[in-house]
Amino acid sequence: MIRLEKVKDMIIDGRKIANKIETNLIKEVKKLKQVPVLVVILIGHNPASEIYVSKKQQACEQIGILCKIYRLPISTSQQKLLQLIEKLNKDKKVNGIIVQLPLPAKFDRNTIVYSIAPWKDVDGSNPINLGFLEIGQPLFIPPTAAAVLETVKYTKVQLKCLSVCLVGYSSLVSKPLVPLLIDLGATITICHKNTKNLIKHTKEADILVVAAGVPKLIKASMVKKGAIVIDVGINRQGKKIVGDVDFENVKKKAKFITPVPGGVGPITVVMLLRNLIQAARIYPVK
C-alpha cells in the first residue's frame, strides 16, 4: 500500500490545482518588465480545437498574458504556414508559439512543430527541447507531462521505488514522462492499447497513467486496490466527454483518481503558461 500524507479528496480536482498555480503565475508575471506574448495558430474550424484555444486565451487573460490568435483557413498551404512560423520566430515581441493540434491531414505535423524555434517552443515538442529533457536539463517540459507530475505532487506520494505504468506512448505524455519519472526514482512500465495481457501490467502499478485514446479502456478489474489513477484521455461519446478510464467503477478501488473533464486538462493549460513565463524570463522581448 502506498504511504500518503493526509489529503482530503480522492477525486482530484484539477481546476482547484490549476487555480492555485495561477495565483503564483500572476505574481511571476508582475515581476517581468514586459507582458509575455503567446501566439496560437489555428487552422480550419475544428470545434474541439476552438474550445481548447478559447480556454488558453481565457487563462492568459486571468494571468496577465497577451494571447494573439492567428486563425488560418484550411486552404492555407504548408509553405505559407512555415513562412508565418519563421516570421514569428524572428519577431522579438513574441515569447511563445503554439500550432494547435491536430492539424488537417495535408500538413506534416513534425515538419510544422519542429520549425518552431526551441526558445519559443512552449509546448516542448522541438527535438532540441526533448533532448534537453532526456538528459535531465529541461528548458520546457511538455505541458501535459508536467500536469501529470503536478497531479502526483498533489497526492503527496513519494515516487521513489514506486511502480508507474504508462498506458500509451505519445510524444506529448508518456515519452517525456519517462526520463522525468526515472529521475524521481520511479520504476517505469510502458504499455499501449494492444499490449498483450495488458491487465498484468496495469494491476501491478502503484500509479497508473492512461493516455491511450480509447474510451473507458481501463476497467476496475485492471487496477490495483489503492492505486493512483491519472486519466489523460479525452474522448467524445455522443454528447459526453469521457476518459480512457471507466471512472465510476475504478474510483471504487483507487486511492486517488482524476475525472474527465476537470482533471488533468485545466492543469495542462497553466503548465503551458508556466513555460511561457519561463521563455519570457530567459529571452525577454525587446
Active site (catalytic) residues: 56, 100, 123
Return the CA Rg of the chain: 19
Give dist(CA 182, CA 105) in Å, integer.
Answer: 35
How far is residue 207 from each of residues 14, 66, 163, 219, 225, measured CA to CA in Å? 17, 37, 6, 15, 11
Whether residue 210 contacts residue 244, with contact meaning beta carbons closer than 8 Å, is answered with: yes
Question: Helices 14-31 and 47-63, interaxial angle, to 10°?
Answer: 50
DSSP 160-215: TT-EEEEE---TTTHHHHHHHHHHTT-EEEEE-TT-TTHHHHHTT-SEEEE--S-T
Place of cell 491531414: 105
DSSP 36: -
